[in-house]
Amino acid sequence: MLEDHSRFWSFSLTVYSNPDVRKECLELQDRHNIDVNLLLFCAFAGAVHGAVLPETSLREAADLVGGWHNDVVTNLREARRALKPFTTGSLSAASVAAALRNSVKAMELEAERLEQRMLEAWSQSRLGTWPRMQGTEAAAANICALFALGAGSAAAPELPRHLVVAAIAAAR
């Protein structure tokens, strides 16, 4: 396990502990294929630092973690979800499957933390170069920019208001 000295990770744990935020994030992940770590990073940069991510920087961030997210985080999530039906019922292996699922869940969480570490380390030298705005507006602008980055022909999702509010509260 990585040591937990990450301001971004602490922020994410605080914000994501809100059930309304968790619901918004999971809906964006499942319906719109949004990387929740990038979403939280957008909120963090805006709420904590008042930083507005330029499109080029947001693309760089997405490219930086894209392979890791798609090849590792997403596959661990799919494995965890695939194991769920085997953890209940009268199967003699249900308790073993539940233990395996818990192990995969722990690995998934650790993979998420590593993705966040990658984003935080990448942003350290760039943070001072990004434009500034009031935290609420910066977080909202960053999230909207993330949505626009992934938008194809589909309409952009609605701004996750609970996330923005929780991010501002966590930044204080």
The full 3-state SS of 89-150, as one line of letters, equals: CCCCCHHHHHHHHHHHHHHHHHHHHHHHHHHHHHHHCCHHHCCECCHHHHHHHHHHHHHHHH
Helix (H, G, I), strand (E, B) or coil at 51: strand
Give the per-residue pLDDT at 2: 47
> Which pTM was predicted?
0.93
Residues 123/61, Cβ–Cβ less than 8 Å:
yes
pLDDT for position 59: 97
The pLDDT value recorded for residue 82 is: 97
| Burial zone of 33 (CB within 10 Å; 0-12 exposed, 13-18 middle, 19+ buried) | exposed
pLDDT digits (tens, 9 = 90+) for 75-93: 999 999 999 999 987 777 8
The model's pLDDT over 126-154, given as tens digits with 9 standing for 90+, comes to 999 999 999 999 999 999 999 999 865 46
- The domains of the chain are located at 7-171
CA-to-CA separations, 95 to 22, 104, 150, in angstroms, rounded: 27, 14, 40
What parts of the chain have a pLDDT lower than 50?
A: 1-2, 153
Q: Let me know: does 86 contact 102? Beta carbons within 8 Å.
A: no
What are the angstrom distances between the C-alpha of 141 and each of 5, 156, 164? 27, 13, 10
